[in-house]
């Protein structure tokens, strides 16, 4: 679809105007770069964070802290709520009973 001709009447150089461009348009290239580059960058950052977390956890296993390596004493259990005797001391009411 373009037009080709001499640049000027005295010139032997040929010039083409409105020639169809070969390849991908510039806007499509930018869209591909952004569309593929942003997710790739996020994946690299996520992989970096994952590796850093693994390195930290590996370092903790190799050097246990003194207060955690000793034996653990059992903690007393605390139960919340009322015991059976307290519950039985309340007056009983049959459902549907009217006064």
Per-residue pLDDT of the chain (99 residues; tens, 9 = 90+): 678 888 888 878 888 877 677 788 889 999 999 999 999 999 999 999 999 998 888 777 766 555 555 666 788 888 788 888 888 998 887 777 665
Tell me if 49 is assigned to some domain.
Answer: yes
Tell me if 50 is assigned to some domain.
Answer: yes
Q: Report the distance separating Cα 71 and Cα 60, nearest Å.
A: 18
Tell me if 13 is assigned to some domain.
Answer: no
Tell me if 38 is assigned to some domain.
Answer: yes
3-state secondary structure of 4: strand
Tell me if 51 is assigned to some domain.
Answer: yes
Query: Number of structural domains, the chain?
Result: 1
Contact 10, 3 (CB under 8 A): no
Q: What is the pTM of this model?
A: 0.40
- Domain hosting residue 47, numbered range: 24-67
Tell me if 47 is assigned to some domain.
Answer: yes
pLDDT value of residue 70: 60
pLDDT value of residue 46: 97
């Amino acid at each position: 679809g373009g037009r080709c001709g001499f640049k000027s009447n005295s010139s032997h150089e040929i010039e083409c105007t409105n020639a169809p461009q070969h390849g991908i348009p510039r806007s499509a290239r930018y869209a591909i770069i952004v569309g593929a580059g942003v997710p790739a960058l996020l994946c690299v950052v996520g992989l970096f964070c994952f590796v850093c977390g693994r390195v930290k956890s590996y370092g903790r296993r190799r050097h246990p802290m003194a207060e955690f390596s000793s034996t653990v004493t059992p903690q007393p259990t605390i139960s919340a709520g009322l015991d059976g005797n307290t519950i039985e001391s309340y007056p009983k009411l049959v459902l549907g009973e009217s006064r």
